[in-house]
Amino acid sequence: MKNYTVRLYSNNDFELWNDFVSKAKNATFLFHRNFMEYHKDRFEDYSMMVFYSDDLVSIIPANRVGDEVFSHQGLTYGGFVLKEKAKLGDVLAIARSVLKFLNDKDIKNFIIKLIPSIYNHFFSEEIEYALFLTQAKLLRRDCLSVIDLSKKNSFSNHRKACIRKGEKNGLVVKEENEFNLFWNKILIPNLSKKHQAKPVHSLEEIVALKNKFPEKIRQFNVYHNDEIVAGTTIFITDRVAHPQYMSGNERKNELGSLDFLYHHLITEVFHQKDYFDFGPSHENNGKSINQGILFWKESFGAKITVQDFYEVKTSAYKQLENVFI
């Protein structure tokens, strides 16, 4: 087994890290340091870099809480980000080296939030095998509602009727460079009223991220008689369009605003992407499903893929030795 060295990320690694992200087989712009560091004050960064000789072969976006390290809790997904040419034997050795590094630092557990396969440029499930070998514990499994845009999809009759309602009401979809109208008039009031919550990103943060990733974060608003009635903020990767936020005013069912909006996005704006990822419809750490939201997503033709969360004991690095016979 090859010998790898592991060290923590430092500010001096900014360019090296980002260059690796641009070439990795399973990375998105969420792993770029300009994205990760918008909330650096909220987390104790514990991101790792793995080298073979002087060659960077893997990065692991992560943060530390006590004696546990997490796939970065400020990101939707994470885990081991790998070079395109990484082979199974290499990845097992990389995983062993990372677990031993953490174990030597008195870290007991590594909580890994896997990257859903739809975001990968190539097959990249070597880590799942490593987790099997280390007897990692499955903590959570989210069901993501995803439309395969390479296939012919059929909206349900009910969804088609709601889309026609939007057409009859003269709704207009516009892409905007500003977020404040949607954030202040629709999103923040709705989250506060329905869930006593706030958006994960503040308005100032989403504006700053848009400025850094103008092609990756896009805002679409729906207007009725020149008044905003709904909107969505979309995160865009090479293969996937994902609504990070979506919300409509109290007339959304009457106007058909969200149905009209997503029909437009799926069939006109993002039809050349591989997937449209509506995300999960869960509460209670994935153990409860909001049936109404799931029904709405499935009525657009969305099918289920999963995202898994694992806990692996760092002492299990020994189980990744002598695998090959």
Domains of the chain: 5-141+307-320 (3.40.630.30), 151-273 (3.40.630.30)
pTM for the whole structure: 0.95
Can you give the pLDDT at residue 1? 61
Q: What is the pLDDT of residues 163-213, one digit of tens each?
A: 999 999 999 999 999 999 999 999 999 999 988 899 999 999 999 999 999
Q: What is the pLDDT of residues 256-315, one digit of tens each?
A: 999 999 999 999 999 999 999 999 998 888 889 999 999 999 999 999 999 999 999 999
Statement: residue 2 has pLDDT above 80: no
Q: What is the pLDDT of residues 208-267, one digit of tens each?
A: 999 999 999 999 999 999 999 999 999 999 999 999 999 999 999 999 999 999 999 999
The residue type of 152 is K
